[in-house]
Amino acid sequence: MLGEGNAPINIGNTTVEVGKEGTIASSQGGMLGKLARVNINPASLQKVGNNLFVPSDGQVTPVPAGAGAIHQGRLEQSNANSVRAMTQMIDANRGFESYMKVIQQLDGIDSQANQIGRLG
């Protein structure tokens, strides 16, 4: 893990506590470092591994102090509403089925009209 100024932060086997501003302190009372918080242009990222990206131009800008906070032990939630997405998918599927039935009925009417035209 890298801290400010690309300094490595070694945690070891101790329990750590992360402060809202990114400071990392060990359970033994020592300050281990501070997380580097930066902004990166997503368009400039280059894929290096399966889940690893690096900025291709090397340009990163530090996040200004007071912009956002770090919360230890919290999970980031999705911005997608799965229930709403499922109901939208069901509505789309029902609409598709209805249109398919209309097309099948129109196809049947066309074939009947063709048969009537042949008899006459």
Which tens digits make up the pLDDT trace of 83-114? Answer: 999 999 999 999 999 999 999 999 999 888 88
- pLDDT at position 111: 86
H/E segment holding residue 36: none
What pTM, to 2 d.p., does this model score? 0.43
- pLDDT at position 24: 82
Whether 16 and 3 have beta carbons less than 8 Å apart is answered as no
Q: For residues 28 and 17, give the distance between their C-alpha atoms in angstroms, rounded to a whole number.
A: 11
Q: For residues 8 and 15, give the distance between their C-alpha atoms in angstroms, rounded to a whole number.
A: 17
Check whether 1 has a pLDDT greater than 70: no
Domain ranges across the chain: 4-62, 81-120
- pLDDT at position 59: 66
3-state secondary structure of 76: coil
> Which residue shows structure tokens 């501070």?
34
